Structure 1
Amino acid sequence: MLAESELAATAPEYLQSRTSSSATSTASSLERRSFETLIRQAANVVFATSNSGELARMLEDGRRFDWSIIEEAGKAHGFDLALALQASHRLLLIGDQSQLPPYNFERFETLFREPPRILNALKMGAQFAPGLIDRAFMNLDANGQIKFSDSCSEWLPMVQFFAELFLRATKSTVAGVSIAQQLKFQHRMHPEIAKLVSECFYKGRLKTHPDAIKRFSEEPPPYSIVAGSWLPAAPVVFIDMPWVQQEKFAGGEEGGDGAPRYSNPTEIEAVGRVLSTIRSVDGVSCHVQVISPYRAQVRRIASAIGDRMRLGADLENLLAPEFDMDVGKRKGATVDEFQGSEADIIIASLVRNNDEKPGKGLGFLADPRRVNVLVSRARHKLVLIGSWNFMESRIDCSVEPNGEEELAHIARLIRFLKHGRQTGSVAVVPYSLTKGSLF
């Protein structure tokens, strides 16, 4: 609590007294709000979500900042950033337009391309919440509708605001220096994982800082692998599942039929086999995270892991406090949920394994931004579980793909894994060589 903090202890006596009285249960709501406002107005640094009501009130009261620093700006619609953009005349936006875009951006873009639909929605909304609808949009004449359509065209780039701004900013300079810059060095990922991400999604421009290279080469990982286990020590491992088009009884994906409720039971089994080989290091915290593009797969994996942990048998190793598997969604999170987070070990179930014709059947994996997030979350070890032959059959991987070619990221990923297999930085393990049955 603020009243018990070191900051309060160094404050003048009258402020200490007011801080203590405001923290008591007898303080009136008006006193507490008044004191909170005082604290906010006096703060040198304020942390807030981009659309916070408190931030809006501060701006209404005339508060402005020297800088607005917006993290994960690529995930926000321009409309969500309006308050933060107004809070200062100096802005630092940090984001990655090569990763997942703002939520539901396709729907917003579709709407802005069809202004009549928006006007119809406003008319319908006015029947249920008239106080939220500007009446000026209710009965536009022909000229007003044209102006509204022009406005929609101007609003369209605001949906993916960061990507649009970054593109424009790369063409703008101050004192000969571009005002948009890409970070050149990364510090958190194993160099080989970083190289995969760089080659597949950033044209090789992302490098590992020398300090990070030294750290990963000298410090042991925060986990161990069972001696003699089938799981290799390589930082990148691909568990190769049989392709349903080549093996009669291979276990492929299930689900579909409209909503993307895909799952893959055989890959759930593979996740368990990977987890069974990992051991904790006494006193060293280790974040193990299972992810997948599909929520249905995530739910089934989390349920299977939880069941086995409760039985205290096949996955009793995960009960170690160093793993702390009950925190958050460590037993399973979608790729979208896990953007912006990281873990020491990432186990990724790709799910898709079908007999669709080349170029088809990848679902969420056809989006390079989602695959970028999927492979860039691991600090020490990345384990991909999927069908190598299925992935390789989607696009010609024998030649370097054109940068604009659809599914070019899949070809680059397969090519990188093939090369890494030759150098030893990547290990490919056929599913048939994994041992044990957990689920």
Structure 2
Amino acid sequence: MRLFAKTGTAIDEDVRRLVDGGIRRIRRVFSSRRAREVLVEVTEVVEDEHELGIVMLDPGTPLLGSARRTALRRQSCMTNRGRRDFWLNMSRVIEGLTNCHDAGIVHGAIDGSAIFAGDEQALSYRLGGYEACVHITDDPRPSEMALRTSSAVSFRQDLADLAEVIRSALGLGQPEEPVLTNIERRMLARMADPPHFQLYDGHVALSDLAEVIEDLARLGTSVEGELVLYPGQDVLRSDLPSLASGAIPAENREAVLRFVADDLLGPDTRLVGIDDRKVRVVTDLATYVVELVDDRIGMIVRGGKRRPNDAIADAVDIKRRIHLARHRGAAAERVRRLGNGALSWMGVREAPAPTAPFDDPPSWHALILLEAFALLRQQFRTFPVETIAPPRSRADLVWIAARSDEERAEQRKRLKLPPLAVALDREMKHDEGRADWTVSLSDTLGRPRERLPELALEMIDEIGGRLAYGFRSSEPVLTGQDLFLRPRTEAGTEGAIRRRLQNVVAARANVELLRALDDPASVAMDAALRAVAVPGEPPPDLDGSKRGAWEAIAEGRSINVVVGPPGVGKTYLITRLIESILVGTPNARILVASQNHETLITMEHELKEVLTAHGKIVVRVEKSEVQADATLLRQTSRACLEAALRSEITGPLVNPYREIREALRPTDVAERVLAERVMRDTDSLLLRSADVTLATTSSSFVEDMIADGEQFDWVFVEEAARANGAELIGALLLGNRRVMIGDHRQLSPFEADERKKFFEPFRAEELLKDGAERLASIPDLPPEVDTTFERLNADRGLLIDVLATATRLEEPFRSIAEREKEREVDLGRPSVVAKTLREQSRMHPAICRIVSRTFYDGDLVPTDRVMDRKATVRSRGGFPTSPIVVLDLPPLGTSSLRSFERRKRKDLTNPSEAAALVEAVKGVAPAVDAEVQPSLVVLATYTGQVKLLELLLKPRIDAEGRLRGFVSPRGDGRFVYTSDSFQGGEADVVLASLVRNNVVVGRPALGFLSNPQRLNVLLSRARQKLIVATSLQFLSDVVDGTDRDRTGGPLSFIRTLVEELRESAGEADAGHPRGATILARDERGKSAR
């Protein structure tokens, strides 16, 4: 019953007449059975002296009547599937409204109380509240507006009012609003402001909504449905620049691409079919001819301004988003990440086939695949070989040659992998000569249980016309056997994969976390968790970006993401946050996890410095590969027990203290058993008592804590960009509040690009065919692996969705950060999920500018503290005083040398660059008045160059472990590292060798340098001075050879770096020397002057 209070005035009679008239008008609509299903039926009108009542037949509850149901609905609508169900229900409301409109009735009072909902899990929405409806022939008196707004009523206004109710029901405009697809946003905007010069009524609105529902059914977990295309080289040179009518220079390819991308995203974009392989995309400005490279990737082959006679009579509106990639590779990567969200160009005019519903979210299956495929990939490094008779001169070695295997050869051909002999030769040429190989009679996966020989490659030679490989073996190997050469598998590797799979299985019931790991914006945070261990106000000394990150974390999301470029003080921010949490909530428990130990050691040091004064316990746990007694946790336990024994104890505690004494100094087997029990109990007590626990993401302690049901108030994951989803899920599962910190523009998870190749559908299907059978040889894998394989083999639609999700979860931090950046651009407001720290306090401003413009789009800036920092490094012997010095060697193409690079198997060296850097060390020294001794480090991109530099610099390190007055960056007397191993480190002076200088064409010429993340790490470690040895001309030649038209290919960052260095060398800052100096060096690395 809906009640209206009487006023005791003439208005009561007006209300009665209004209600009677409205119900009388609506009765003609109820002649349709379907209308009775979508409209609330009024059975009678009753009244007494106080109220007038409208009796409705089982209407349900008002859509916005219950705060709890509204919150649950908004949580459900965070997902595509949840919104699809919501739109299906809203289509019932629009259908009911359309029935009214078709009868000439304007509803006139649509709001949150006019729509009624029954069971949210079923199709139950109905339209009511039509008591104040108006027929288009009516001439209502002013008093009859009592139950309506005073504004005009119309069919259009009914639809606009309904759009406003929908926005409120979804929570649009709220901090945790769902991320709508482009087609949803367009549909809702059209309903909120119906077009004036086009037919738009309830029937059109229903048609638009049907497309939305079909689109969401097909998308699965993909956030957006997109049509992907890229420009051809010829059209980018001529056709596309002409569209801007000279406002954008043709040479400015970036601006041209942005202009075209904006044009394609316009509201009135249409598509016309030309033939089976070509379509025409028509915007308000231009016409683009698109050739289909494959079903889901198009290439713009022609473009021109729109002409009056362009025929678009048979065109269809493109309601999905069009994504313009820079080149073919970027388009293919976009399609791979989108999965089912990448739309078919030829299928734009066809109704999409909905995907079948499923129970487990695709992200859960994807996490299983990440680890299962890591095991299955081992088979492609297992080579069929035979042992052959050795030459007399090297009979001490085991000689192996490749043998044919037709079945394997065919499989590698289907997977588009190099032939067996080529792959084996590549492995051997890059081998480091360690005992990393073994041979076995079978090719089963996993670590064989029998004892196998350990093989170390010694030499490669030709024997009897065959390429052969000589290994030093720990065991005799008989000649003439057909064997399989394979890498030795460490027990710890399989154990870590097993633990991660168990963590994934444990997360199966936590659907919200599984969804949040793929897209935190799709999951609303439980309001109750926001009150748990809330941080206080941010410290006043934080810069603006850190303050914004602090406030976002305090506000809380399903997962908060903090992007921290080099030197911005990520550790400082997290340490202060943890301090604030523990001061405000003394009994809070916090877990800090990271993919590597070095980060945890740094965090432990920082946390103890801050928290010791507050009496807080910080425990770092690690698993020793030797025995439990060697772990840091066990050492801490022993220290606690030793401290307890220092006091004199009498009475009932005598026996427990005797057990402690025996546990610390056991003398026989019985006491050792007792000691282990006491130590385990103490370990467990320490973990449960710790205010802050630090552990690696793949630690067995994480698995144990999950099994024990442990729960932390907060989980912080440091260096999260270096971990894949399976590594992250265990730690995240332990937290109520979750924060990931990292930088996706530095190092990625190990072999991420290689692993992602196997998520291509044709490769994945091949692995899945016999994957469960192959994995059966590895003991103790959870049975859920087999279940996932069975499910994916049976449902290709789900498989495509899972593979796209797996591609994203291979680098979840990067995927989230990049997606949130795109949303900021699309929606025109800052992300509430991901916050980027922008002010760095490490690098000299000149070094910061190079790094910022090359890798961070100019967003990274130095703090005032860096600008005013006193220098502790000086130059001597005429060496340049500029913060950046480039030791510029000639390119190999203009040199008399046969080669700058020297390769011995995997070791690659460049002696000329090494000589240049060793000479440069003489040109820098600690400042005379330096209060703290400055540090120096030498970095290289290859292990071989590191070994060479260590050899050359070792005689120059004095007895105190200093190199020409500089201390080592980690205080251990070591000065030379690979760039990868020094991520997170810093030094006052950094000397870097880029190593590569050759005449090879394309990306292979650069090797590791073609990875922008590695180069970013290399160049961003220096506080005061950066000295780089390379050939700028070689770098420029390589990029020009792959991107002569400057279209912005994958190596464009190299061009940006070279240009920035040359520009910085040509200008001087006010009151300071120029930012960079380029010193010419000859082919020996000596001064060219």
CA-to-partner distance for each residue in 1:356-406, whole Å, 9 max, x for gaps? Answer: 347661222122121111111111111110112112223359x9x978433
1:426 counterpart letter in structure 2: A
Please say if residues 276 and 317 of structure 1, whose CA atoms lie closer than 8 Å, have aligned partners that are also in contact: no
Offset of 1:78 from its aligned partner?
1.0
Secondary structure of 1:393 counterpart: helix
TM-score if structure 2 supplies the norm length? 0.35
Provide the rounded CA distance (Å) in 2 between the counterparts of 1:205 and 1:325.
28
CA-to-partner distance for each residue in 1:300-358, whole Å, 9 max, x for gaps? Answer: 2222222x347x79xx97265x5248955844222211122212211111111112347
1:220 counterpart = 2:880? no
2:712 to 62, 65, 89: 65
Aligned residues: 415
Provide the rounded CA distance (Å) in 2 between the counterparts of 1:214 and 1:205.
20
Please say if residues 319 and 325 of structure 1, whose CA atoms lie closer than 8 Å, have aligned partners that are also in contact: no
1:240 counterpart = 2:888? yes
1:151 counterpart = 2:151? no
Provide the rounded CA distance (Å) in 2 between the counterparts of 1:370 and 1:160.
16
Matched with 1:347 is 991
Provide the rounded CA distance (Å) in 1 between the counterparts of 2:658 and 2:731.
29
2:805 counterpart letter in structure 1: E
Provide the rounded CA distance (Å) in 2 between the counterparts of 1:55 and 1:13.
37
TM-score if structure 1 supplies the norm length? 0.82
Secondary structure of 1:90 counterpart: strand
1:165 counterpart = 2:811? no
Provide the rounded CA distance (Å) in 1 between the counterparts of 2:969 and 2:817.
38
Please say if residues 943 and 978 of structure 2, whose CA atoms lie closer than 8 Å, have aligned partners that are also in contact: yes
Matched with 1:368 is 1012
Provide the rounded CA distance (Å) in 2 between the counterparts of 1:317 and 1:233.
22
Secondary structure of 1:199 counterpart: helix
1:44 to 684, 688, 691: 691
Secondary structure of 2:880 counterpart: coil
Offset of 1:154 from its aligned partner?
2.9
Secondary structure of 1:352 counterpart: coil
RMSD: 3.8
Matched with 1:183 is 837
Provide the rounded CA distance (Å) in 2 between the counterparts of 1:59 and 1:324.
40
Between 1:94-103 and 1:50-59, the stretch displaced more is 50-59
Matched with 2:914 is 268
1:285 to 909, 926, 933: 933
Provide the rounded CA distance (Å) in 2 between the counterparts of 1:408 and 1:57.
46
Please say if residues 915 and 1086 of structure 2, whose CA atoms lie closer than 8 Å, have aligned partners that are also in contact: no
Please say if residues 289 and 345 of structure 1, whose CA atoms lie closer than 8 Å, have aligned partners that are also in contact: yes
Secondary structure of 2:946 counterpart: helix
1:417 counterpart = 2:1061? yes
Offset of 1:73 from its aligned partner?
0.6
Please say if residues 74 and 96 of structure 1, whose CA atoms lie closer than 8 Å, have aligned partners that are also in contact: yes
Provide the rounded CA distance (Å) in 2 between the counterparts of 1:66 and 1:337.
32
Shift in CA distance, 297/59, structure 1 to aligned 2, threshold 3 Å? same
Secondary structure of 1:164 counterpart: helix
Secondary structure of 1:178 counterpart: coil
Offset of 1:176 from its aligned partner?
7.1
Matched with 1:332 is 976
Secondary structure of 2:716 counterpart: strand
Secondary structure of 1:124 counterpart: helix
1:428 counterpart = 2:1078? yes
Shift in CA distance, 143/271, structure 1 to aligned 2, threshold 3 Å? closer
1:182 counterpart letter in structure 2: T
Offset of 1:198 from its aligned partner?
0.6
Between 1:324-333 and 1:57-66, the stretch displaced more is 324-333
1:167 counterpart letter in structure 2: E
Shift in CA distance, 41/326, structure 1 to aligned 2, threshold 3 Å? closer
Matched with 1:79 is 726
Provide the rounded CA distance (Å) in 1 between the counterparts of 2:988 and 2:701.
35
| Mapping of residues 195-206 of structure 1, within 5 Å | 195-206=849-860
Please say if residues 72 and 340 of structure 1, whose CA atoms lie closer than 8 Å, have aligned partners that are also in contact: no
CA-to-partner distance for each residue in 1:126-156, whole Å, 9 max, x for gaps? Answer: 23x2333637359848953645565344322
Structure 2 stretches lacking a partner, 5+ long: 1-635, 667-673, 1069-1073
CA-to-partner distance for each residue in 1:241-269, whole Å, 9 max, x for gaps? Answer: 1222112238622238xx76432111111
Matched with 2:467 is none
Between 1:24-33 and 1:323-332, the stretch displaced more is 323-332
CA-to-partner distance for each residue in 1:104-125, whole Å, 9 max, x for gaps? Answer: 1123212232224543454233
Provide the rounded CA distance (Å) in 2 between the counterparts of 1:62 and 1:250.
64
1:154 counterpart letter in structure 2: T
Shift in CA distance, 156/360, structure 1 to aligned 2, threshold 3 Å? closer
Shift in CA distance, 353/393, structure 1 to aligned 2, threshold 3 Å? same
Provide the rounded CA distance (Å) in 1 between the counterparts of 2:801 and 2:831.
34
Shift in CA distance, 402/33, structure 1 to aligned 2, threshold 3 Å? farther
Matched with 1:391 is 1035
| Mapping of residues 133-144 of structure 1, within 5 Å | 134=783, 136=786, 140=790, 144=794
Please say if residues 990 and 1026 of structure 2, whose CA atoms lie closer than 8 Å, have aligned partners that are also in contact: yes
Offset of 1:435 from its aligned partner?
6.0
1:431 counterpart letter in structure 2: R
Secondary structure of 2:912 counterpart: helix
Provide the rounded CA distance (Å) in 2 between the counterparts of 1:254 and 1:46.
46
Name the larger-Rg structure: 2
CA-to-partner distance for each residue in 1:87-109, whole Å, 9 max, x for gaps? Answer: 21322111111122110112321
Matched with 2:963 is 318
Please say if residues 840 and 861 of structure 2, whose CA atoms lie closer than 8 Å, have aligned partners that are also in contact: yes
Please say if residues 123 and 138 of structure 1, whose CA atoms lie closer than 8 Å, have aligned partners that are also in contact: no
1:294 counterpart = 2:942? yes
1:200 counterpart letter in structure 2: T
1:132 counterpart = 2:781? yes
Provide the rounded CA distance (Å) in 2 between the counterparts of 1:91 and 1:292.
36
2:678 to 31, 35, 47: 31
Please say if residues 68 and 88 of structure 1, whose CA atoms lie closer than 8 Å, have aligned partners that are also in contact: yes
Provide the rounded CA distance (Å) in 1 between the counterparts of 2:648 and 2:803.
56
Offset of 1:194 from its aligned partner?
0.9
Shift in CA distance, 264/38, structure 1 to aligned 2, threshold 3 Å? same
1:207 counterpart = 2:861? yes
Greater share of residues in strand: 2
Provide the rounded CA distance (Å) in 1 between the counterparts of 2:658 and 2:713.
27
Offset of 1:3 from its aligned partner?
7.3
Secondary structure of 2:963 counterpart: helix
CA-to-partner distance for each residue in 1:2-40, whole Å, 9 max, x for gaps? Answer: 7768xx79xx9999x979948833462111111221221
Offset of 1:188 from its aligned partner?
1.3
1:115 counterpart = 2:761? no
Provide the rounded CA distance (Å) in 2 between the counterparts of 1:350 and 1:333.
13
Secondary structure of 1:38 counterpart: helix
Provide the rounded CA distance (Å) in 2 between the counterparts of 1:55 and 1:245.
54
Which structure is higher in RCO with an 8 Å CA cutoff and minimum separation 6?
Answer: 1
Provide the rounded CA distance (Å) in 1 between the counterparts of 2:748 and 2:867.
30
Please say if residues 251 and 265 of structure 1, whose CA atoms lie closer than 8 Å, have aligned partners that are also in contact: no
Please say if residues 360 and 394 of structure 1, whose CA atoms lie closer than 8 Å, have aligned partners that are also in contact: no
CA-to-partner distance for each residue in 1:179-209, whole Å, 9 max, x for gaps? Answer: 2111110011111111111111111111111
